Amino acid sequence: MLRSFVGKIQKGVSLFAHRRPPVRYFNEATGEVPEDVREGYFAVLATKGGESKRFIVGLHYLNDPAFLGLLDQAQEEFGFRQKGALSIPCQPQELQKILDGRRM
């Protein structure tokens, strides 16, 4: 189910990116676009045990099995109705290791 959902996101992003000029994430509260979120990337907030860190993650991680496992955990804990940065229930170090290509 999650892989199907990710596939739909990738297809939608691909179609959207080809139809419109590059779009950055827009913060509705402040009216600002974060400069660190470029086209092809999204913001992720790793939060667990009182620790929290924001990451900018490339869309290609939507194919990484370890990252998909974290998305499964996020769906179970938070559901799919998150806004803004995607919250993932893991230690920031755990997500950093996945992004660095190392497994825990």
pLDDT in the model for residue 1 = 63
Q: How confident is the model at residue 42 (pLDDT cuts 50, 70, 90)?
A: confident
Share of the chain above pLDDT 70, in %: 62
Q: How confident is the model over 75-84, as a mean pLDDT?
A: 78
Q: Is the pLDDT of residue 45 over 80?
A: yes
Q: How confident is the model over 70-99, as a mean pLDDT?
A: 87
The most confident of the ranges 12-21, 37-46, 65-74, 82-91 is 65-74
Q: Which two tokens stand for residue 37?
A: 């979120």
Q: Which two tokens stand for residue 35?
A: 């400069």
Residue ranges with strand state E in the chain: 41-48, 51-58, 86-88
Half-sphere exposure (Cβ direction) of 3: Cα atoms closer than 13 Å: 4
Domain spans of the chain, in order of start: 2-99
pLDDT in the model for residue 19 = 43
Are 41 and 54 contacting, i.e. CB atoms less than 8 angstroms apart? Answer: no
3-state SS string over 15-28?
A: HHHHHCCCCCCCEC
pLDDT in the model for residue 17 = 45
Q: Is the pLDDT of residue 104 over 80?
A: no
